[in-house]
């Protein structure tokens, strides 16, 4: 018989859902942010009620036959790497942990519980000097499965890199209204006007965000109604609307896994972010704070002086700082782009007017060229020293805007210059093209001692950060962006007013449409041009972000005022949504030859929408961030469904691989000015975003390093770092009962936090 099921995934903390796909399934996907993936079988190392236990840096999770118990350590034990920032008056030393219990109300008291997807590693406990009390070779699993927890309903706990999730799978004929989740440890439960479940804890609010249901019919997504319902003051259930039982029912929700302010008392903005294979985020930007948080042992722990300087901060997968450092000289600096290699070394570019910006011996340009110069700096994996650091520039203004790496460690930098003597080598275009600015592309060898190639890129007009005139004007102009494929080819996007910008035969648009338009140019590994094209419509365009997939297709985002911007059949948004003097974001995927778009779509509402950065996952889904002032910006499976107010909100949108639909799209912001400037994606589809905010109520997560703004004064920004986590598919059907353990071990005494049974819930009113 075909299996039809309802999968419910419930979120903890400032979180909502992950990704679920299956045959005839409806998924209500929510997640516990930041919890680990491994579940230990209880072979006597903890209380005998416990079947499986999962331990993290600041929590322990117990799974029993009848409930889930989450024990959160006091905030003072979660202070991370920044001295003095973890303790607070509300969390004094010696404070008891916070305990949240979720009982499966009315459930089978003895379901079959088994571990699935066993890991090769084992856990061992050598506690005390009595070997009979040691516990060794304890198996660990990726998933814990409860069979027949309710009649016809199974439950599985599992997770992605950043979350613990649990699914209720409702088989044909079973009744999802039987599910009841009874919470103890929360002072109050309430469903707000957005449909989110709010749990008031002792010191924090915990949010279970509104579940989202949908079906896909003929390639078009149709959302299904569903919501939380309060059964008692301490118990919730689910109400699911009508849906077609003959079609798959899916949810692709979103989790705000981590979100934190990052800054001091001055103005701080994050402009670049990268992520490594361990899920650590590397952030750069600028800071005017003399007290920007730095870490002991970092390259520079004190501000170089007044004004703005670069910061570089590494956060681990749980959002705790690993290192944080200033970078700069006696003038002023800004960090725009960052990339990270397989060894964890961070490469940063930006601009400086400091004549004593730190450079290293043998650098390809050790001396300041004048006015404003590009800098390129490689930090070691601990953030404690410079591996290399160099200027790049001529006698006028030179700005490094973006940086990318190839596998040997060559660094590719893109930006713009007003210098007629910008350093070139093996150049496609050896001389300045004219106008106020040209773009440039420079490739530096792995040691930072020589330029492999360096070229101007421009015509007789301007290749500036942005010349789009909107109301309000673009508050944060961005320059050219760069991406590098596996063969060392570099892809650059930007903006031009030149009618003679260099293009190639057979490219998508070879003649200037006039005015301000975007461009995409592909360079070979040696610096020759493979293709170069304009793009745009009857208004103006700016190319702000670019990414490239394994087939050599380039994905571009930016902003357009054109009502005729080229879109493709089946595009997610074919029509311009803005009005006079407004912009929409766009997302365009070019084929490998640059001759045509594979897909192209608008993205926006009735006010200003700016796509600032784009990243890809292994499936070819494109993740875009930027900012919007549109209260009707398209959202779906959103962490934040409504505009937070103020000047702008960040948006984060994931497109499917064909550009015909969004997987999720969400606001991220508060009542001030919030701008997303950079995005990175890890191997599991988690999106990492940085930018700047003036909001006092920017969304942060429980346990965030910095839960509130540190900036002092009106319109003072803090940087932010947020992770939007992607979930995992639903569990398989119920497995057979596991075999008995060969040698049962004697139980240990109960843990310090006992697990007594809950009192019976009050009767449900009829």
Looking at the chain, the whole-number percentage of residues with pLDDT higher than 90 is: 58
Q: Does the pLDDT at position 444 exceed 60?
A: yes
Higher pLDDT, 728 or 482: 482
Of 591, 627, 655, 679, give the one whose Cα is nearest residue 402.
679
pLDDT of residue 379: 99
- The structure tokens 């060392």 sit at 488
* Beta carbons of 284 and 338 less than 8 angstroms apart: yes
| Ranges 2-6, 174-178, 352-356, 669-673: which has the least confidence | 2-6
The answer to whether residue 570 scores a pLDDT higher than 90 is: yes
pLDDT score, position 226: 78
DSSP structural state of residue 431 = S
CA 244 – CA 295 distance, rounded (Å): 55
Residue indicated by tokens 């301007």: 462
When pLDDT is averaged across residues 502-516 and rounded to a whole number, the result is 96
Q: Bridge-partner residues for 676, per DSSP?
A: 691
Residue 417 CA neighbour count, 13 Å, CB half: 32
> Residue 176 has what pLDDT?
78
C-alpha to C-alpha distances, 361 to 238, 259, 364, 572, 737, nearest whole angstrom: 65, 39, 9, 51, 66
Residue 470 scores a pLDDT above 50: no
Distance CA 497, CA 381 (A): 41
Which residues are CB-neighbours of 63 under 8 A, at least 6 positions away? 39, 50, 51, 52, 53, 54, 113, 144, 157
Q: What is the pLDDT of residues 60-84, one digit of tens each?
A: 889 999 999 988 765 433 333 222 3
* Between 612 and 99, the higher pLDDT residue: 612
The predicted model scores a pTM of 0.74
Q: Which residues contact 224 (CB under 8 A, 6 or more apart)?
A: 26, 213, 214, 215, 240, 241, 242, 243, 249
Residue 565, pLDDT > 60, answer yes
Question: Does residue 427 have a pLDDT over 50?
Answer: yes
Contact 383, 343 (CB under 8 A): no
pLDDT at 699: 86
Question: 456 near 427, Cβ under 8 Å?
Answer: yes
The three-point CA angle 106-101-638 to 5° equals 95
Instruction: Please compute the mean of the pLDDT values over residues 668-686 and round it to a whole number.
Output: 93
Give the pLDDT confidence score for residue 32 in this predicted structure.
37
Q: How high is the pLDDT of residue 6?
A: 31
Q: Does pLDDT of 471 surpass 80?
A: no
**How many Å is the Cα radius of gyration of the chain?**
27
pLDDT on residue 119: 86
* Span 280-301, pLDDT tens digits: 999 999 999 999 999 999 999 9
736 CB contacts (<8 Å, ≥6 apart)?
none
Give the pLDDT score at 162.
Answer: 47
pLDDT of residue 711: 84
Protein fold of 326-725: Neuraminidase (2.120.10)
- Residue 149: which region, alpha, beta or left (left: phi > 0; alpha: psi -120 to 50)? alpha
Please give the structure tokens belonging to residue 616.
């890809």
The three-class DSSP label of residue 273 is: strand
Instruction: Name which residue leads in pLDDT, 548 or 472.
Output: 548
Structure tokens at 626: 């930027």
Burial class (CB in 10 A: 0-12, 13-18, 19+), 216: middle
Distance in angstroms (rounded) separating the CA atoms of residues 124 and 595: 59
Lowest mean pLDDT among 175-184, 409-418, 498-507: 175-184
How many other C-beta atoms are found inside a 10 Å radius of the C-beta of residue 735?
A: 15
Torsional sign, CA 560, 564, 565, 571: positive
Q: Indicate whether 726 pLDDT > 50.
A: yes
Q: What number is the average pLDDT over the span 391-415?
A: 98
Burial annotation 412-429 (CB, 10 A radius, 16+ → b, else e): bbbbbbbbeebbbeebbb
DSSP secondary structure string for all residues of 681-692? E-TT--EEEEEE
Each residue of 230-258: pLDDT tens digit? 999 999 988 878 877 765 444 334 456 67
Mean pLDDT, residues 154-168 taken together: 68
Q: Residues, the chain, total? A: 766
* Per-residue model confidence (pLDDT) at position 206: 62
| pLDDT higher than threshold 70 for residue 501 | yes
User: Residue 694's pLDDT is what?
Assistant: 94
Q: How confident is the model at residue 203 (pLDDT cuts 50, 70, 90)?
A: low
| Residue 115: pLDDT over 50 | yes
Q: Please state, in angstroms and rounded to a whole number, the distance separating the CA atoms of residues 729 and 698.
A: 30
Question: In angstroms, what CA-CA distances link 258 with 673, 689, 704?
Answer: 20, 10, 7
> What digits encode the pLDDT tens for the residues 134-157?
888 899 998 999 999 998 888 888
Mean pLDDT, range 620-638, rounded to an integer: 95
Q: Which of 325, 283, 295, 327 has its CA nearest to residue 309?
A: 327
pLDDT at position 537: 96
Determine phi and psi for 738, rounding to 5 degrees.
Answer: -70, 155
CA 201 to mean position of chain CA atoms: 26
Give yes or no for a contact between 551 and 591, defined as CB atoms under 8 angstroms apart. Answer: no
Q: Which two tokens stand for residue 380?
A: 């070691």
Token pair of 422 as six digits: 């910008």
Residue 739 CB neighbour total at 10 angstroms: 7
Domain boundaries defined on the chain: 4-75+96-238, 326-725
How far from 550 is each of 95, 272, 443, 489, 594, CA to CA, in Å? 51, 23, 21, 11, 15
393 vs 390: CA distance, rounded Å: 10
b/e map 294-318, b = 16+ CB within 10 Å:
bbeebbbeebbeebbbbbbbbbbbb
Task: Give the residue among 327, 415, 421, 336 at the shortest CA–CA distance from 379.
Answer: 327
Q: Which residues of 151-167 are buried (b: 16+ CB within 10 A; e: fewer)?
A: ebbbbbbbbbbbbbbbb
According to the model, what pLDDT value does residue 377 have? 99
- Is 176 in a helix, a strand, or coil? helix
- In this prediction, residue 582 carries a pLDDT of 95
Phi and psi at residue 441, to the nearest 5°: -135, 125
Give residue 255's pLDDT.
55
Q: Give the separation between CA 128 and CA 126, rounded to whole angstroms.
A: 7
Average predicted confidence (pLDDT) for the chain? 82
Q: What tokens appear for 752 in the block?
A: 């310090």
Tokens (6 digits) for 17: 């859902």
Report the pLDDT averaged over residues 582-589.
98
What the block records as the tokens of 621 is 């889904």
Q: How far from 228 is each of 186, 194, 241, 594, CA to CA, in Å? A: 17, 11, 12, 48
pLDDT bracket for residue 186 (50, 70, 90):
confident
Structure-block tokens of residue 684: 């599991």
**What is the band of 88 on the pLDDT scale with cuts at 50, 70, 90?**
very low
Question: What is the pLDDT at residue 173?
Answer: 73
235: tokens are 């118990």
Q: What CA–CA distances, in Å, run from 425 to 9, 416, 430, 493, 722? A: 56, 16, 8, 21, 39
Q: What number of other Cβ atoms are within 10 A of residue 514's Cβ?
A: 10
Task: Report the percent of the chain where pLDDT is more than 70.
Answer: 78
26 Cβ partners below 8 Å, 6+ apart?
5, 6, 7, 213, 224, 240, 243, 249, 250, 251
State residue 205's pLDDT score. 57
Place of tokens 């050219």: 480
Residue 367, pLDDT > 90, answer: yes
pLDDT at 578 over 90: yes
**Given this model, what pLDDT does residue 87 score?**
28
Omega within 30 of 0 (cis) for the link into 108: no
| pLDDT (0 to 100) of residue 198 | 73
Residue 199 vs residues 16, 66, 204: alpha-carbon distances, Å: 14, 21, 9
End-to-end Cα separation, the chain, in angstroms: 36
* DSSP tag of 15: B
Dist CA 259 CA 656 (whole Å):
24
Strand boundaries in 513-634, DSSP class E: 517-523, 529-535, 541-548, 554-560, 584-590, 597-603, 609-616, 622-628
Could you give the angle at the alpha carbon of 76 between the alpha carbons of 75 and 79, nearest 5°? 90
Confidence of residue 650 (pLDDT cuts 50, 70, 90): very high
Give the pairing of strands 333-340 and 24-28. unpaired
Per-residue pLDDT at 576 = 98
């Amino acid at each position: 018989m075909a299996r039809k099921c309802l999968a419910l995934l419930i979120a903890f903390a400032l979180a909502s859902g992950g990704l679920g796909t299956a045959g005839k399934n409806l998924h209500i996907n929510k997640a516990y942010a930041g919890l680990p993936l491994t579940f230990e079988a209880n072979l006597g190392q903890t209380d005998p009620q416990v079947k499986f236990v999962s331990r993290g840096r600041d929590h322990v999770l117990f799974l029993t036959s009848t409930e889930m118990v989450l024990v959160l350590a006091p905030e003072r034990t979660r202070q991370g790497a920044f001295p003095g920032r973890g303790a607070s008056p509300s969390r004094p030393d010696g404070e008891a942990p916070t305990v949240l219990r979720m009982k499966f109300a009315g459930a089978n008291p003895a379901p079959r519980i088994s571990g699935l997807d066993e890991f090769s590693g084992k856990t061992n406990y050598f506690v005390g000097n009595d070997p009979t009390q040691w516990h060794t070779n304890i198996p660990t699993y990726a998933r814990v499965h409860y069979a027949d927890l309710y009649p016809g309903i199974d439950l599985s706990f599992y997770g992605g890199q950043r979350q613990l999730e649990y699914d209720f799978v409702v088989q044909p004929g079973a009744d999802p209204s039987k599910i009841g989740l009874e919470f103890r440890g929360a002072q109050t439960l309430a469903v707000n006007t957005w449909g989110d479940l709010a749990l008031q804890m002792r010191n924090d609010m915990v949010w279970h965000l509104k579940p989202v249901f949908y079906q896909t019919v003929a390639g078009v997504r149709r959302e299904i109604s569903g919501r939380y319902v309060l059964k008692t003051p301490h118990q919730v259930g689910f109400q699911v609307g009508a849906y077609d039982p003959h079609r798959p029912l899916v949810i692709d929700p979103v989790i705000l896994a981590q979100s934190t302010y990052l800054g001091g008392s001055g103005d701080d903005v994050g402009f670049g972010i990268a992520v490594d294979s361990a899920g650590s985020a590397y952030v750069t930007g600028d800071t005017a704070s003399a007290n920007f948080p730095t870490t002991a042992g970092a390259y520079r722990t004190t501000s170089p002086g007044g004004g703005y300087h670069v910061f570089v901060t590494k956060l681990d997968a749980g959002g705790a700082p690993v290192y944080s450092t200033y970078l700069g000289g006696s003038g002023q600096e800004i960090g725009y782009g960052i990339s990270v290699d397989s060894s964890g070394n961070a490469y940063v570019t930006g601009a400086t007017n400091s004549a004593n910006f730190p450079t290293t011996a043998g650098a390809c340009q050790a001396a300041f060229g004048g006015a404003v110069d590009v800098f390129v700096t490689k930090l070691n994996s601990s953030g404690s020293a410079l591996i290399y650091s160099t200027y790049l520039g001529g006698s006028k203004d030179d700005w490094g805007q973006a940086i990318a790496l190839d596998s040997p460690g060559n660094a590719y930098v893109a930006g713009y210059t007003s210098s007629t003597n910008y350093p070139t080598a093996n150049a496609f275009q050896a001389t300045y093209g004219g106008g106020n600015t040209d773009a440039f592309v420079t490739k530096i060898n792995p040691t930072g001692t020589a330029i492999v190639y360096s070229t101007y890129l421009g015509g007789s007009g301007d290749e500036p950060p942005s010349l789009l005139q909107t109301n309000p004007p673009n508050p944060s102009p961005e320059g050219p962006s760069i991406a590098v494929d596996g063969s060392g080819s570099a892809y650059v996007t930007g903006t031009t007013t030149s009618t003679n910008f260099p293009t190639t035969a057979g490219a998508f648009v070879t003649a200037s449409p006039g005015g301000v338009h975007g461009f995409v140019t592909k360079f070979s590994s040696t610096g020759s041009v493979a293709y170069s094209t304009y793009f745009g419509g009857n208004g103006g365009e700016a190319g702000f972000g670019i990414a490239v997939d394994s087939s050599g297709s380039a994905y571009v985002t930016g902003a357009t005022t054109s009502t005729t911007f080229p879109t493709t059949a089946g595009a997610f948004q074919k029509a311009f949504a803005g009005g006079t003097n407004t912009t929409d974001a766009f997302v365009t995927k070019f084929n490998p030859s640059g001759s045509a778009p594979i897909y192209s779509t608008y993205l926006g509402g009735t006010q200003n929408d700016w796509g600032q950065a784009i990243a890809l996952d292994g499936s070819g889904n494109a993740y875009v961030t930027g900012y919007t002032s549109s209260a009707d910006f398209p959202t779906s499976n959103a962490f934040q469904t409504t505009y937070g107010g103020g000047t702008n909100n960040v948006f984060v949108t994931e497109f499917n691989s064909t550009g015909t639909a969004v997987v999720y799209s969400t606001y991220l912001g508060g009542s001030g000015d919030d701008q997303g400037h950079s995005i990175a994606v890890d191997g599991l589809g988690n999106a990492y975003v940085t930018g700047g905010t003036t909001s006092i109520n920017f969304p942060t997560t429980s346990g965030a390093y910095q839960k509130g703004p540190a900036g002092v004064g009106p319109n003072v920004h803090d940087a932010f770092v947020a992770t939007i986590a992607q979930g995992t598919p639903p569990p398989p059907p119920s497995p057979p009962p596991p075999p008995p353990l060969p040698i049962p071990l004697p139980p240990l005494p109960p843990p310090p936090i006992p697990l007594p049974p809950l009192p019976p819930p009050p009767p449900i009113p009829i």
